[in-house]
Structure 1
């Protein structure tokens, strides 16, 4: 079965389950999936029950697709994403973004937990741009002409209007919201101190193991993107050791600000 046939099959399955014309897709990163529990009139599907869908194997990723109403908007939320480092193909990693486009979403809010290069733990950061340091591109292979061009422009992959709205909303709520460049790596090992020094020289403010493939596909598909990183730890070389438990713990501390921000942004977009 071709990628396009898989997309159509999954779209039709979700439509039959009651997923009708979502306005926004939400990709919720490590420890951030709790926001999906606030969705009203929810249709909840286990990833295992969705044809052609992937599996989420990382702590902090619940593995459920939730559709319903949030802040007055119809949303389709992923409680947990698929990562390249889990052994998934990039077609599978980015498949949910294709589905969001196929179902009619106008925009995607993509979130992640990231290591801070320019910012410290507990910071919320909108992504202004990214550096693809994974060594891979999800658009390699046959181009899906119905989604976008062979050579998509990435100049404005992260919507300026969405970012402006996010900062205006944060100011109103009294939430500190920084902005910076995200560098995406393949993982699963954390970066070395030498790599982080190199990334800082390259202009990166945060580093993580997700987001970049999804945003490339979203840009190819003509979807508007707002990216938000929750800085959960200092990157290598700025603290003694790195571990995923700390990521989940810091995310727990800042999740209320995160949830308030995303809901208020959705209401304004």
Structure 2
């Protein structure tokens, strides 16, 4: 665990060496097809993941693999254009390492976004969903191993992993913008294969509204660190078995492209009104 703190400090020191003493108020992780929002950051400093000590490198189409640090609607933000996934071969500890580095930079507020499969048959592709809770049946956990009490307690509460007040804020912002937004439960699957129809039926029985391959590990790490977290899913496709058609990653990117203006407008408004 001392090695983790050492790596966090070395990564954050490298970033600080580039951005100086600029405060960073909100961290934003942008999922598949949603990275264009980072292009709206002004006075931006761009740092490639491959140049940051100890950072993994994103290998997924639609993930640019870089940090964009600057201002969005008057707030100082650090945006990840692309994240890391368990299915890429990284351990859960590496998947959440950027969240821990954000914490070392001073981030105490986090917005997680993703592209997800829609499990709720009453909803449609292209909808946005505020994450109210998640289901993780995956055995591994990003906090497995020795714990550093200076980062967070060994056993920590997950009943409010997705901040209630931030969820209310997201609903208000959506209403103000005329966006029909959903709220529901996200279930983690490891990928890279899409879920089977039987697995989707199971997710529905368990109470999930969406399924995906990310976000949950990052939310767990954020809870451990005491970071206030909001999660929003772009429901890019109906999950396997709901419609009689095969799934593919291109559909995910295409739907993300179609709704990116709506999604970006919502995120901009949330960031501007985010209580710090």
Band the TM-score falls in, shorter-chain normalisation? over 0.9
In structure 1, runs of 5+ residues without a counterpart are none
What is the CA–CA distance in structure 1 between the aligned matches of 2:45 and 2:255, rounded to whole Å?
Answer: 29
Equivalent residue, structure 2, for 1:261: 266
SS of residue in 1 equivalent to 2:29: strand
Alignment of 1:88-237 (within 5 A): 88-118=90-120, 119-237=123-241
- Bigger mean CA deviation after superposition, 141-150 or 15-24: 15-24
Query: Normalized against structure 1, the TM-score is what?
Result: 0.98
What is the CA–CA distance in structure 2 between the aligned matches of 1:133 and 1:40, rounded to whole Å?
Answer: 40
Cα deviation, 1:120-161, whole Å, max 9, x if unaligned, reads: 211100000000122211110011211110001000000000
**Shift in Å, 1:63:** 0.5
In structure 2, runs of 5+ residues without a counterpart are none
Cα deviation, 1:91-126, whole Å, max 9, x if unaligned, reads: 110001001111111210000000000132111000
Equivalent residue, structure 1, for 2:74: 72
What is the CA–CA distance in structure 1 between the aligned matches of 2:157 and 2:118, rounded to whole Å?
Answer: 27
**Shift in Å, 1:89:** 1.2
The question of 1:34 aligning with 2:25 is answered: no
Cα deviation, 1:207-265, whole Å, max 9, x if unaligned, reads: 00000000000000000001000000000101211100000000000000000000000
What is the CA–CA distance in structure 2 between the aligned matches of 1:219 and 1:3, rounded to whole Å?
Answer: 17
**Structure 1 moving runs of 4+ over 6 Å:** none
Of the three residues 46, 49, 54, the one matched with 2:48 is 46
- Bigger mean CA deviation after superposition, 160-169 or 13-22: 13-22
The question of 1:22 aligning with 2:46 is answered: no
Would the aligned equivalents of 1:133 and 1:186 in 2 still touch at CA under 8 Å?
A: no
What is the CA–CA distance in structure 1 between the aligned matches of 2:141 and 2:94, rounded to whole Å?
Answer: 13
Distance 1:135 1:120, change over 3 A: farther
Equivalent residue, structure 1, for 2:12: 11
What is the CA–CA distance in structure 2 between the aligned matches of 1:170 and 1:234, rounded to whole Å?
Answer: 22
**Shift in Å, 1:4:** 1.2
> Over aligned residues, Cα RMSD in angstroms?
0.9
Of the three residues 244, 250, 256, the one matched with 1:245 is 250
How many pairs were matched up?
269
What is the CA–CA distance in structure 2 between the aligned matches of 1:164 and 1:230, rounded to whole Å?
Answer: 18
SS of residue in 2 equivalent to 1:260: helix
SS of residue in 1 equivalent to 2:19: coil
What is the CA–CA distance in structure 2 between the aligned matches of 1:238 and 1:244, rounded to whole Å?
Answer: 17
What is the CA–CA distance in structure 2 between the aligned matches of 1:105 and 1:50, rounded to whole Å?
Answer: 17
**Shift in Å, 1:36:** 0.3
**Shift in Å, 1:2:** 1.1
Equivalent residue, structure 2, for 1:2: 3
